[in-house]
Chain A
């Protein structure tokens, strides 16, 4: 383990907070990432339907395999095309 000395004014916590959740989905584009586990699509398809019913733009993505992280090009594509991502774990 390495211990570093904080170079900052120390006004922010050492553990970085998660990005805040949006107050509303209005006007945002939602990405749905299927991690490619079997039957995950059942849940994600239903979410997709519900979001579209509310007039929210949805884009769908799928990882080639659930056993590895999403390939970098896919990560970059998602980051540039949507405002937030939903992914689901199924089993």
Chain B
């Protein structure tokens, strides 16, 4: 890198900038009358009006001088910058250079162009090069002949699928997605109870394939699962199927392009897929929660790669899940639910809510086992065509909850172990009583899915649902 003069004028330009081209004769004039060094960001032969040109193709000097706009004119005295102006402004250039009558045939002023050193990607590369990232994570060097993907698999970082390599530039860009301090600790991730800093979460979000604008949602989801009442350690360690299911509400859904419509619970949307995956990678890598280690799941479920979707709030007659759970309407929020898989509720014939709610209730009774009650919590994902049936009949969400609980009352005789020829079941003392399939508050309803199709879904929960196990947690998405 060349050195700056102790005293005198320095300019940074690029040929690609019309204002720089326009001021080339003025720079020549400054070279003759006062002396100047000009750094060119793109073409070392530009401007040919100045003899003392320095190539800054590597942009080191531009970065060091924190150039944002070209042309930038700087005055140095005693090795220190004493004045700076950018773009073309005759009065400013004259004041700064102490010369008069500069660029007489030019307009009085003309804005400059963006400098190359602050272009996305370049800026991060320069910060890494000058060791200005402030990132604290340990650096892992991968050999030149080593395949990055294989190296990451070999270190156990992957959920089984390829990862985006978390190089410093990508992590820096990811952190641009939040205003939070990279070293802020969001919580302790079980089972290792290791600190999840914003930076560590960003590293995992990079690997998961997130864009920077998804990071606030990932942070909120991590915060939510680390709330004591969610019981993340148990959700991880259980032999049952569950993992965190993330439901996103509010403005952030559309801002980051989440899918709440057709195939909302399926593949194909980057935000849905990568946010859920990032949360799981945080548990795996920061918390050291890995299958067949502390994760003792017998079968697990495909959603443990990532299970995240947005509620379809637009056009719904119901308040969004987040509002039901105390957030302000429109506020962005995530709700986490310890859930698994998807059980379909196919009903293409009910045209009134009384019939449809019975379909839902009878399907709900099968969660875990028809013989088990009270069972786990359940999240019901109501498709738009089913919601329409309730709406047209004027059923509020509260009414639907009320009817579902009422219809999920089960005669204890049916639940006793051995009844209906099934050994599974409850104690003989249930006979003659009535038992509800769900604890009060154990049902959650959201609306999602494509406009066509009378196919809703039930996401079953964990046997340890509720106060003695996991309860759903809602957290605001903070930018």
Residues of A within 8 A of B (CB): 1-11, 14, 16
- A2's partner among B142, B200, B207 (CB-CB below 8 A) is B142
Chain B residue with the shortest CB-CB distance to A14: B140
Q: Which residues of A contact B287 (CB under 8 A)?
A: 9
Q: Is the CB of B143 within 8 A of A5?
A: no
Q: Which residues of A contact B204 (CB under 8 A)?
A: 7
Q: How far is the CA of A60 from the CA of B355 in the complex (A)?
A: 69
Q: Is the CB of A3 within 8 A of B138?
A: no
Q: How far is the CA of A16 from the CA of B150 in the complex (A)?
A: 14
Q: Which residues of B contact A5 (CB under 8 A)?
A: 135, 137-140, 166-168, 171, 203
Q: Is B285 an interface residue (CB 8 A)?
A: yes
Q: Is the CB of A6 within 8 A of B139?
A: yes
- B203's partner among A2, A6, A16 (CB-CB below 8 A) is A6
- B168's partner among A3, A8, A11 (CB-CB below 8 A) is A3
Q: Is B152 an interface residue (CB 8 A)?
A: yes
Q: Is the CB of B142 within 8 A of A6?
A: no
Q: Is B154 an interface residue (CB 8 A)?
A: yes
- B167's partner among A2, A8, A14 (CB-CB below 8 A) is A2
Q: Is the CB of A7 within 8 A of B165?
A: no
Q: Is the CB of B194 within 8 A of A4?
A: no
Q: Is the CB of B166 within 8 A of A7?
A: yes
Q: Is the CB of B139 within 8 A of A4?
A: yes
CB pairs A–B below 8 angstroms (29 shown): A1-B142, A1-B143, A2-B141, A2-B142, A2-B167, A3-B167, A3-B168, A4-B142, A4-B165, A4-B166, A5-B135, A5-B137, A5-B166, A5-B167, A5-B171, A5-B203, A7-B157, A7-B200, A7-B204, A8-B157, A8-B286, A9-B189, A9-B286, A9-B288, A10-B137, A11-B192, A11-B194, A11-B288, A14-B138
Q: Which residues of A contact B288 (CB under 8 A)?
A: 8-9, 11
Number of interface residues of B (CB under 8 A): 33
Q: Which residues of A contact B152 (CB under 8 A)?
A: 4
Q: Smallest CB–CB gap between B393 and chain A, Å?
A: 50
Q: Which residues of A contact B143 (CB under 8 A)?
A: 1
Chain A residue with the shortest CB-CB distance to B156: A8
Q: Is the CB of A2 within 8 A of B148?
A: yes
Q: Which residues of B contact A9 (CB under 8 A)?
A: 189, 192, 194-195, 200, 285-288
Q: Which residues of A contact B458 (CB under 8 A)?
A: none
With A3-B141, A4-B165, A6-B140 known, 11 other A-B pairs at CB within 8 A are: A2-B141, A3-B140, A3-B168, A4-B140, A4-B148, A5-B203, A7-B203, A7-B281, A7-B286, A8-B157, A11-B194
- What 9 A-B pairs are tightest by C-beta distance, nearest first? A9-B194, A6-B138, A5-B137, A7-B285, A2-B142, A7-B203, A4-B140, A8-B285, A5-B166
0 or 1 for each of B105-146: is its CB under 8 Å from A? (1 = yes): 000000000000000000000000000000101111111100
Q: How far is the CA of A8 from the CA of B207 in the complex (A)?
A: 12
Q: Is B468 an interface residue (CB 8 A)?
A: no
Q: How far is the CA of A3 from the CA of B203 in the complex (A)?
A: 13
Q: Is the CB of B286 within 8 A of A3?
A: no
Q: Is the CB of A2 within 8 A of B137?
A: no
Chain B residue with the shortest CB-CB distance to A6: B138
Q: Smallest CB–CB gap between B301 and chain A, Å?
A: 23
Q: Is the CB of A7 within 8 A of B148?
A: no
Q: How far is the CA of A6 from the CA of B166 in the complex (A)?
A: 8
Q: How far is the CA of A8 from the CA of B158 in the complex (A)?
A: 11
Which residues between 163 and 201 of chain B lie within 8 Å of chain A, taking CB atoms? Answer: 165-168, 171, 189, 192, 194-195, 200
Q: Smallest CB–CB gap between B145 and chain A, Å?
A: 10
Q: Smallest CB–CB gap between A84 and chain B, Å?
A: 20
Q: How far is the CA of A4 from the CA of B148 in the complex (A)?
A: 9
Q: Is B349 an interface residue (CB 8 A)?
A: no
Q: Which residues of B contact A16 (CB under 8 A)?
A: 154-155
Q: Is the CB of A7 within 8 A of B139?
A: no
Q: How far is the CA of A16 from the CA of B151 in the complex (A)?
A: 11
Q: Which residues of B contact A1 (CB under 8 A)?
A: 141-144
Q: How far is the CA of A62 from the CA of B203 in the complex (A)?
A: 44
Q: Which residues of B contact A10 (CB under 8 A)?
A: 137-138
